[in-house]
Amino acid sequence: MSKVIVITGASSGIGAALAELLARRGDSVVLAARREAELHRVAVACGPHALPVVADVTVRDDVQRVVRSAIERFGHIDVWVNNAGRGITRMPTAITDADIDDMVRINVKSVLYGMQEVLPHFQERGSGQVINISSMLGRMPMAPMRAAYSAAKHMVNSLTANFRTEVRATHPGIQFSLVSPGVVQTDFGNNALHGGPDSRTFPNSQTVDEVAAVIAGVIDSRAGDVYTRAQGKQMVLDYFASDEPGS
């Protein structure tokens, strides 16, 4: 059965690839991002069942507008994918107040707003799913130059788990899922605050299509916690099995 799926950060990268994959299989997609021209190009590629909504999801009013627009166009929302985010390249000893503020605003508040603003709609319907796109760095703080980003993703992981526990007690039909990719072949590195290495140059990186396929699978399975690589969970277990992780 086709679903109505909201995707933030949908103008490029993982979000765009996911939108096109879901549209091809017959789902309706609501695409949210700041960059209007890029967003509309993705919407055209997705076809007539795509709704582009230019929005900054670090602004709560904009997130509320995305919710309203989706319901006005399609009548309801089945799945909300919090995919928007940004990296940073700065060693932990050099992190500034502004760096932390930016990482929390972009990577944490956008996720919190999405969960909080779509939740009343899901509660009214008695069903729904939020999928938060985290990172392997949200599990293993193993890249010092990404320290502030890693910390933000750890907060996303905690919020996801705690939303799931709270909401499940009264609305068991609502699921909060977490997806943890590793390095993905996108502009993430190029667009990181303070610049950074191109993510495409890292070994063992995944394509956006590979990651999008995993996220689509989470929509189908409603699994709570998924890694985009089969060995992801074992990597985390091995990391913390060390007496001094990350050393």
DSSP summary character for residue 203 = T
Which residues are registered as beta bridge partners of 79?
Answer: 5, 129
Report the C-alpha gap between 39 and 219 in whole angstroms: 22
Report the C-alpha gap between 224 and 151 in whole angstroms: 21
Backbone phi, then psi, for 16, in 5-degree steps?
Answer: -65, -45
Structure tokens at 244: 């001094």
Report the C-alpha gap between 119 and 133 in whole angstroms: 17
Structure tokens at 190: 């190029």
113 a catalytic residue: no
Report the C-alpha gap between 14 and 219 in whole angstroms: 15
Active-site residue identified among 113, 149, 227, 239: 149
Residue 222 falls in which region: left (phi positive, over 0), alpha (psi -120 to 50) or beta? left
Q: Write the CA distances from 53 to 8, 57, 87, integer angstroms.
A: 10, 11, 23
Q: Parallel, antiparallel, or unpaired: how do β-strands 4-8 and 225-227 relate?
A: unpaired
Positions marked catalytic: 149
